[in-house]
Amino acid sequence: MNTQFSNQIDGDRTGNPQADLMDRMIQGLYGLGLKLEYCIALVDESPEQARAGLDAAITDLGEVIDVMRHHMQSLRGLT
Amino acid sequence: MPDTPIRVMLVDDHEVVREGLKALLNRRDTMTVVGEAGTVAQAIEVAARERPDVVVMDLRLPDGTGIEACREIRSQMPDTKVIMLTSYADEDAVMASILGGAAAYLLKQTRGSQLAEAILGVARGESLLDPQVTMRVLEEVRKSASGKRAGSPESQLNENEQKILLLIAEGKTNREIAAEIYLSDKTVKNYVSNILSKLNMKRRSEAAAYIARRTPETNRG
């Protein structure tokens, strides 16, 4: 998956892979939380948009998990 | 409620965070997102162009820290308020942010609705610390109030910062300092920016001169 979030996997910003992973995880999860909060706001006025937003949020969650899995595997030298 | 919407700028290198915040904040009549940036350099440039009322700033940016960007923006536009929105609750970052002129320090678990309230608050001139970081800051303030007040300015620095200050005074580059104390260049850069901020200095040469003046054996005056 070649998205904005996944693209950030390879950038080594601090020289500390654990700190970088932690930072990316927090950013990804925080962004996801904001998206869910936006969906709550849309529930009454536009249920269809809210539904689409929730769907996108689940995709984002999958990406966060992918990033974590990819990173953990590279730390263990499995990839 | 203000007559015109508060002009908000978002500085974060993670688009997913910027997009989420923008969508939530733009739903409100009281504020509008007028600019976005993903680096320190962009932040300074966009702020100078858009002249926002409030900047929401990430701490960690690819080319430096949000504290540097905060200081620069505030020196050019003292009326612009800066809210630090970050993943980190460590007291050094909080103190450096406050000394750098930030009006609020919030953690990246603050809901969009709470951030919107914070934006309205700082626009009115209020200051705000995340409850989770307040305790740490109070501890730091108490520490510096008890016994350190009469001390030298560098007593505000923690152990690592004092060590790095001496290495700066020796004329070492960030890379050389990083190699010497086993930290990354980026971490050293953050330390140097905190040190300068705590000592109220702009350049590392000022810090070196300060140490030279203070150390008796190098005091030529």
CB-based contact, A50 to chain B, within 8 Å: no
Q: Which residues of B touch A23 (CB under 8 A)?
A: 60, 87
Residue A3 forms part of a structural domain: no
Q: How many domains does chain A have?
A: 1
CATH code where residue B156 lies: 1.10.10.10
Residue A52 forms part of a structural domain: yes
Whether B159 and B101 share a structural domain? no
Whether B126 and B181 share a structural domain? no
Domain with B130 in it: 6-137
- Condensed to tens digits (0 to 9), the pLDDT of residues B77-131 reads 999 999 999 988 877 888 899 899 999 999 998 999 999 999 999 999 999 988 7
Helix B15-26 and helix B112-123, axial crossing angle in degrees, nearest 10:
70
Q: Domain end: B137, B168, B183, which one?
A: B137
The percent of residues in chain A predicted with pLDDT above 70, rounded, is 77
CA separation for the pair B202, B185 (Å, rounded):
19
For residue B152, what pLDDT band results from cuts at 50, 70 and 90? low
CB-based contact, A26 to chain B, within 8 Å: yes
Whether B70 and B23 share a structural domain? yes
CB-based contact A41 B62, cutoff 8 Å: no
Once rounded to an integer, what is the mean pLDDT over residues A8-24? 62
Domain with A59 in it: 17-76
DSSP conformational letter for A43: T
Residue A69 forms part of a structural domain: yes
Nearest residue of B to residue A31, measured between CA atoms: B17
Residue A68 forms part of a structural domain: yes
DSSP-based three-state secondary structure for A11? coil
Whether B113 and B160 share a structural domain? no
Residue B118 forms part of a structural domain: yes
Q: How many domains does chain B have?
A: 2
Q: Which residues of B touch A42 (CB under 8 A)?
A: none
Residue B207, pLDDT score: 81
DSSP conformational letter for A14: S
CB-based contact B20 A35, cutoff 8 Å: yes
Q: Domain end: B72, B103, B137, which one?
A: B137
Contact B130, B106 (CB under 8 A): yes
CATH code where residue B45 lies: 3.40.50.2300
Within 13 Å of residue A70, how many CA atoms lie on the same side as its CB?
16
Global ipTM: 0.74
Taking 60 as the threshold, does the pLDDT of residue B20 lie above it? yes
Whether B109 and B28 share a structural domain? yes
